[in-house]
Amino acid sequence: MPESRGYYGRFGGLYIPEILVATFDELIRAFEDAKADPSFWAEYEALMSTYSCRPTPITFAGNLTEDLGGARIYVKREDLNHTGAHKANNVMGQGLLVKRMGKRRVIAETGAGQHGVATATMAAKLGFECTIYMGEIDVERQRPNVFWMERLGATVVPVTEGSRTLKDAINEAFRDWVTNMDSTHYALGTACGPHPFPEMVSWFQSIIGTEAREQIQQIAGRLPDRVYACVGGGSNALGIFSGFLEDEGVELVGVEAGGHGAGSGRHAVRLSYDDASVGVAQGYKTWFLQDRDGQMQHTHSVAAGLDYVGVSPILADLHEKGRVRFEAATDTEVIDALARTVRREGLIPALESAHAFVQAFKEAPSMSPDQVILINQSGRGDKDIFTVADAFDDPKWKAFIREKARAYDA
């Protein structure tokens, strides 16, 4: 819970232009009202259980457990959500809130395009107009996602300002919101940004942790010793962690995108390396990868969904309080963990989720067989086929792409 006006320790807050104050007040009121109304959560659960495969199961990774010879490894299957990741939890929740507020249009920012596809899906289902802001470079890199957003009825606006990537898309979405406040809701994609977004997004994602706490006790006969989740903005991590925050014996581990590693300048690690500093940007205060003048730095990760300069203020505070431990996984480690998980369990985690698997694999062997590890598989990896096939340097895949290109040229 935020201490006041969206602060978590010294992080968070609500840094917005005067013109948006009334809109945020309206949103905060609608959110508080929905939270206090049990029928709202019931409607949310009903929707998620008929539209998005909730409750998602927990799978025992028996082969990996045997290979690693330590703790028993369990996986929470957020990959089974509609549109392939935990992002559905957030957008469908915000969609119901938009209906409650009587608005008819949603906008969103997207980097890799996953949040854009999830938002466009929600808009199609609930009957809203939808505009997605996306950096021009990302539009070029993520054609399959742009294709689906457009089929789902969204207008995709390529942003040509600045570095033409995610942070410019966020600025453009705020600009749209200022102009269309009365009709429009900005469906922010992770537990970042100005209050109430960190709290609101975490609240919708808490469905993961609530389910997981009950399921793991049923399946493993006890609470987990350690819970692992990857951290981009922080929403899937906060979702699963929320189920165990009060359980002192449960260690919570967030895994950031180590990219090319510490000191490389090519990563997206805010908390577990020394490269970030505290600042205010995009409406809130947290650790940002920025230079001395507060200019945001270029980040890198093999997993597009973790490639972000800031981190949830709630996680920044839990890090400072020592409640969540942060680690980083490099691109190479991630590809190895992905290959191993696919081969041994037949599970295909997203490259983002594979970060959590890396750290769990490092720690499981030194734990005992009566201990329990729970990994949040935030999304499914078949979306990553272009990146993964490249990383595996698969010659048959290359021939296939070449042949496709030739067919189009002809």
Show which residues are catalytic. 87, 109, 378
- Binding ligand PLP (rule: CB under 6 A), the pick from 305, 309, 363, 373 is 305
- Binding ligand PLP (rule: CB under 6 A), the pick from 230, 276, 358, 364 is 230
Both tokens of 73, joined, read 């490894």
**Pairing mode, if any, of strands 324-330 and 7-8?**
unpaired
- Binding ligand PLP (rule: CB under 6 A), the pick from 154, 314, 316, 350 is 350
Cβ closest to ligand PLP, residue 68 vs residue 231: 231
Cβ closest to ligand PLP, residue 114 vs residue 184: 114
Cβ closest to ligand PLP, residue 131 vs residue 190: 190
Residue with the shortest CB distance to ligand PLP: 379
Cα-atom radius of gyration of the chain, to the nearest Å? 20
Measured CA to CA, the distance from residue 269 to residue 328 in angstroms comes to 7
Residues 85-104 that bind ligand PLP (CB under 6 A): 85, 87
Instruction: State yes or no: residue 81 binds ligand PLP (CB under 6 A).
Output: no
Question: For tokens 């729970």, what's the residue?
Answer: 374
Stretch that binds ligand PLP, among 24-32, 175-183, 226-234, 394-402 (CB under 6 A): 226-234
Instruction: State yes or no: residue 378 binds ligand PLP (CB under 6 A).
Output: yes
| Three-state secondary structure call for residue 167 | helix
- Binding ligand PLP (rule: CB under 6 A), the pick from 109, 352, 363, 384 is 352
To ligand PLP, the closest distance from the beta carbon of 87 in angstroms equals 5
CB of 231 closer than 8 Å to CB of 190 = no
Other CB atoms within a 10 A radius of the CB of residue 320 amount to 15
CB of 218 closer than 8 Å to CB of 265 = no
- Binding ligand PLP (rule: CB under 6 A), the pick from 23, 56, 89, 114 is 114
- Binding ligand PLP (rule: CB under 6 A), the pick from 194, 379, 384, 388 is 379
Residues 169-208 that bind ligand PLP (CB under 6 A): 190
Cβ closest to ligand PLP, residue 65 vs residue 259: 259
Residue 63 burial by CB count (10 A; 0-12/13-18/19+): exposed, middle or buried? middle
To ligand PLP, the closest distance from the beta carbon of 270 in angstroms equals 11
Residue 224: asked if its preceding bond is cis (omega within 30°), the reply is no
Please report the DSSP string for 276-330 in residue order: -EEEEETTEEEEE-B-TTSPBPP---SSGGG--S---HHHHHHHHTTSEEEEEEE
Residues contributing to the site for ligand PLP (CB under 6 A): 85, 87, 114, 190, 230-236, 305-306, 350, 352-353, 378-379
